[in-house]
Structure 1
């Protein structure tokens, strides 16, 4: 019968991806792949691993194959209906938490929530905060709600709203911080037809324009929902920081700046609105 060691030697995938799929299929911890590597495996488990490995070789993202992705220390459910959370987006969560650090019971709005990763991570880190999360996709909101139920204390809730950006929000709401990871890839970017992006929802990746149209809408409408001196922070592409700063400044934001991610890329830009 086939063993873990034999599967690892025969796999055409990178070693890390092989281990991820094996732990997923077998329900084992990583250490068990070492301590039980010569243990005969159930043929059905072998077949399942081989099927998933072939799908990965065909390009499907690991997160969609396992149905989960870790983000900000939490394990989120992932499906083809949502953008897979990326490590660089943790910067947006950290920036939002810094912005509300001195504000008890802060109100935070996440625009384009997808898996709910940003909103839920903020709610998890700040149990006193009141967090709203918006997405226009009912399927994405279903995933986000399941993640909230799985990851937050029952006493903690995130308010999920189906809306095209701020269109269906109560205009009387005011937030200390608004954050967004909108679709910012330009429609002609070749990366859309490469790698994992081929399997993720196109509407969560690109605005089917120049990559800035969603950001323009957010910058224009966010001030209507910001509390005095509230902040807006937006994740954007590696080459969009200057354009986003100009949009924020033109709309009347102050203290406009960009923050670099761990790779040194200006990944998120924002500012405060005092008017």
Structure 2
């Protein structure tokens, strides 16, 4: 008979004390995160400490004997939350996107690096059309934290924008981020679904809509399914519901616009088919780091 080996259970991490040092905390956090199966254990530990202590990376490395002091309890709570797979950006309350820092809360999607492809592609289209200095009118559908509209207005000082979202709480965060970037006076925030109540013409429409098929959400990583708002994830039975709504809204505008949307891996062809009802020509696509088409740009001929 084979002996039954006991299962080793990871003991919960003990809270930090005020007299413990940065170096000790960094080592213990890294070890605990790795034991919990977090691939980015060392990076997450460093980022959390930097954010919570208000230090840059150089100080973290050059002053390892510095004590945690009154921040020990906050760091202990942050470790507990990360071990429960809450994303580091949510614990810190901010996310870097396109070289700028954005506030995020439980009311908005945690921005991913893949979404920067939407900005890159939109700016490429604008440059190719000679619109960089034009007084563009830009709409951001389902703005969430406002990363798309705020970034585009920061990059295009003559542009103005409209940002819509069904969530008033999300619009509050989007406005806060626009204010932090100094672009709030050039954007109108509208509590609406899609382009309801928006009057054209609109030169550019951008969106990172929910595109996960409903029955696929349960299989997402816990960092996503347990912490991102469901309304920002659920794209309906086939993941394409909101793209159809956007296409219908654009048809009502009755003028031509450029549209740049984020799409899920393998969805590019299906999304283009959705827009076939309003007539389009392909302006370009942009792949993410995994080689998947992540942003699609179309010119809509209404």
Partner of 1:31, secondary structure, is helix
Matches within 5 A, 1:73-88: 73-88=99-114
2:280 to 247, 250, 253: 253
The CA distance in 2 between the partners of 1:96 and 1:221, in whole Å, is 20
The answer to whether structure 1 residue 125 and structure 2 residue 155 are counterparts is: yes
The answer to whether structure 1 residue 232 and structure 2 residue 274 are counterparts is: no
Q: Does the CA-based 8 Å contact 2:125-2:283 persist in structure 1? A: no
The answer to whether structure 1 residue 243 and structure 2 residue 273 are counterparts is: no
CA RMSD of aligned residues (A): 1.7
Q: Does the CA-based 8 Å contact 2:106-2:227 persist in structure 1? A: yes
CA shift digits 1:107-148 (9 cap, x unpaired)? 111100000000000000001011111111000000000011
The answer to whether structure 1 residue 116 and structure 2 residue 134 are counterparts is: no
For residue 161 of structure 1, what is the aligned residue in structure 2? Answer: 190
The CA distance in 1 between the partners of 2:66 and 2:196, in whole Å, is 57
Q: Does the CA-based 8 Å contact 2:278-2:300 persist in structure 1? A: no
- The structural deviation recorded for 1:224 is 3.1
For residue 182 of structure 1, what is the aligned residue in structure 2? Answer: 209
The CA distance in 2 between the partners of 1:256 and 1:74, in whole Å, is 27
For residue 267 of structure 1, what is the aligned residue in structure 2? Answer: 294
For residue 2 of structure 1, what is the aligned residue in structure 2? Answer: 20
CA shift digits 1:221-267 (9 cap, x unpaired)? 22433743x21121111021111121222331123653322321011
For residue 48 of structure 2, what is the aligned residue in structure 1? Answer: 21
For structure 2, the 5+ residue unaligned runs are: 1-18, 34-40
The answer to whether structure 1 residue 207 and structure 2 residue 235 are counterparts is: yes
Q: Does the CA-based 8 Å contact 1:245-1:257 persist in structure 2? A: no
The CA distance in 1 between the partners of 2:249 and 2:265, in whole Å, is 24
For residue 97 of structure 1, what is the aligned residue in structure 2? Answer: 123
Residues paired across the two proteins, number:
270
The CA distance in 1 between the partners of 2:274 and 2:183, in whole Å, is 38
1:64 to 65, 90, 94: 90
Measured at CA, do residues 157 and 191 of structure 1 come closer, stay the same or move farther in structure 2, by a change above 3 Å?
A: farther
Give TM-score scaled by structure 2 length: 0.85
The CA distance in 1 between the partners of 2:169 and 2:283, in whole Å, is 34
For structure 1, the 5+ residue unaligned runs are: none
Q: Does the CA-based 8 Å contact 2:159-2:186 persist in structure 1? A: no
- The structural deviation recorded for 1:215 is 0.8
Measured at CA, do residues 188 and 118 of structure 1 come closer, stay the same or move farther in structure 2, by a change above 3 Å?
A: same
Partner of 2:157, secondary structure, is coil
Partner of 1:255, secondary structure, is strand
Give TM-score scaled by structure 1 length: 0.92
Q: Does the CA-based 8 Å contact 1:107-1:175 persist in structure 2? A: yes
- The structural deviation recorded for 1:153 is 5.1
Partner of 1:120, secondary structure, is helix
Q: Does the CA-based 8 Å contact 2:141-2:207 persist in structure 1? A: yes
For residue 48 of structure 1, what is the aligned residue in structure 2? Answer: 74
- The structural deviation recorded for 1:41 is 2.4
